[in-house]
């Protein structure tokens, strides 16, 4: 069947065009997409040719990952369900992760409508909120994971480095658990969106002394959402004994972490990545309850056919940008 999709044709080349999708089988769900949320970091690294699959960085000798339909999160209305799907029906409002695509470097993608997906990639949305609130659910789930995995008690100190979307949701989740959160970032506009704790604007990477003064007993939870071994080392330096480090960034080919320094303090380390059905359901519940806030983080919306314009903004940073949603209807 035919669909429209946002296609990365080659490095830094974005197109909106017709694509082929497999004909839906008996266990598939077809959805007319209303909104899809761009993952600035992950999709941007694909667009620049820096990764070829999930957390796999591109290395010399690897194939170039083009053309590809990037993305992995959207919402819409069910248009058709196969006879093996018994718990969804035409007209249901749903979230969808990846969908099947033909003729691309990867046989799946996110920014496509209508979408053909397995039943496991589809979640029925709860009533109440504007469905666009759930269109970034996979990315919000990464932030949820950052705040759910570490061991901490109410009142413990937590530092989140990175003021992007994952950092925002990680900070919200840690604050919901009672942590005293400081978000460190380089963008004053983005830091302004974090309302659940303190913020620290630091463009020079010298924030550690301020954190030590703020938390004299040390930090229990340190989260790197930037994807920098240097940040992991700086977090290590402010952690208390038996603290918890969380790595949620993409490190590319510079990915060899020295384990001896965190061993001195017997730190635990979590490497968060991807999504699970269970975490998506938990995240959806927290969004519906207002524990994780998504709508306030949307700074720009573009018609899907103007995705190239959206990406020029994201990559050029010609104006402050955080959450970017594509409108399909």
Beta carbons of 289 and 314 less than 8 angstroms apart: no
**The pLDDT of residue 76:** 98
User: Looking at residues 91-120, what average pLDDT do you find?
Assistant: 97
CA distance 147 to 279: 12
Q: Which fold has domain 139-271?
A: Rossmann fold (3.40.50)
Q: What is the pLDDT of residue 161?
A: 97
H helix and E strand count, the chain: 9, 21
CB distance 194 to 166 below 8 Å: no
CATH 3.40.50.720 maps onto the chain at 139-271
Q: What are phi and psi of 323, to 5 degrees?
A: -90, 130
CB 95 within 8 A of CB 75: yes
- Which is more confidently placed, 288 or 65? 288
DSSP bridge partners of 200:
184
Buried b (16+ CB within 10 A) or exposed e, 290-303: eebbbeebbbbebe
pLDDT of the residue at 10: 97
State how far the Cα of 41 lies from the Cα of 45, in Å rounded to an integer. Answer: 6
Which pLDDT value is given to residue 138?
A: 97
pLDDT above 90 (res 253) = no
- The C-alpha atoms of residue 30 and residue 213 are separated, in whole angstroms, by 54
CB 7 within 8 A of CB 13: no
* From the candidate CATH numbers 3.20.20.70, 3.90.180.10, 1.10.10.10, 3.90.1150.10, the one assigned to the domain spanning 2-136+294-327: 3.90.180.10
Please spell the DSSP secondary structure of 253-318, one letter per residue. T------HHHHHTT-EEEE--S--HHHHHHHHHHHHTTSS--GGGEEEEEEGGGHHHHHHHHHHT-
pLDDT of residue 208: 95
Q: Percent of the chain at pLDDT above 90?
A: 90
- DSSP 3-state percent helix, strand, coil across the chain (nearest 5): 30, 30, 40
Where exactly does CATH 3.90.180.10 map onto the chain? 2-136+294-327
Tell me the backbone φ, ψ of residue 325, rounded to 5 degrees: -115, 140
- Quickly list DSSP for 115-176: EEEEGGGEEEPPSSS-GGGGTTHHHHHHHHHHHHSS---TT-EEEEE--SHHHHHHHHHHHH
The model carries a pTM of 0.95
Tell me how far apart the alpha carbons of residues 213 and 185 are, in angstroms, rounded to a whole number.
18
pLDDT interval class at 128 (50, 70, 90):
very high
């Amino acid at each position: 069947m035919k669909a429209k999709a946002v296609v990365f044709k080659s490095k830094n080349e974005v197109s909106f065009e017709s694509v082929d999708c497999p004909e839906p089988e008996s266990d598939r769900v077809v959805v007319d997409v209303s909104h899809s949320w761009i993952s600035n970091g992950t999709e941007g690294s694909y667009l620049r040719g820096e990764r070829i699959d999930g957390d796999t960085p591109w290395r010399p000798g690897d194939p170039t990952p083009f053309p590809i339909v990037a993305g992995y999160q959207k919402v819409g209305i069910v248009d058709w369900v196969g006879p093996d799907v018994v718990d969804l029906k035409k007209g249901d409002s749903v979230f969808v992760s990846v969908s099947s695509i033909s003729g691309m470097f990867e046989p799946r993608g996110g920014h496509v409508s209508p979408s053909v997906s397995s039943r496991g990639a589809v979640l029925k949305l709860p009533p109440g909120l504007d469905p666009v609130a759930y269109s970034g659910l996979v990315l919000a789930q990464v932030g949820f994971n950052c705040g759910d995995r570490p061991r901490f008690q109410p009142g413990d100190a937590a530092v989140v480095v990175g003021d992007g979307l994952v950092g925002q949701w990680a900070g919200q989740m840690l604050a919901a658990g009672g942590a005293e959160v400081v978000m460190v970032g380089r963008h004053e506009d983005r830091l302004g969106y974090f309302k659940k704790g303190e913020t620290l604007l630091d463009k020079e990477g010298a924030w550690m002394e301020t954190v030590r003064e703020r938390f004299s007993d040390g930090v229990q939870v340190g989260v790197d959402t930037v994807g920098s071994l240097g940040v992991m080392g700086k977090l290590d330096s402010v952690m208390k004994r038996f603290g918890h480090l969380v790595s949620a960034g993409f490190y590319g080919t510079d990915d060899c972490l020295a384990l001896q320094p965190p061993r001195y303090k017997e730190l635990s380390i979590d490497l968060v990545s991807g999504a699970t059905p269970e975490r998506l359901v938990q995240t959806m519940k927290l969004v519906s309850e207002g524990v994780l806030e998504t709508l306030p983080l949307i700074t720009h919306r573009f018609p899907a056919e103007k995705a190239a314009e959206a990406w020029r903004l994201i990559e050029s940073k010609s104006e402050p940008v955080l959450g970017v949603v594509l409108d399909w209807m």
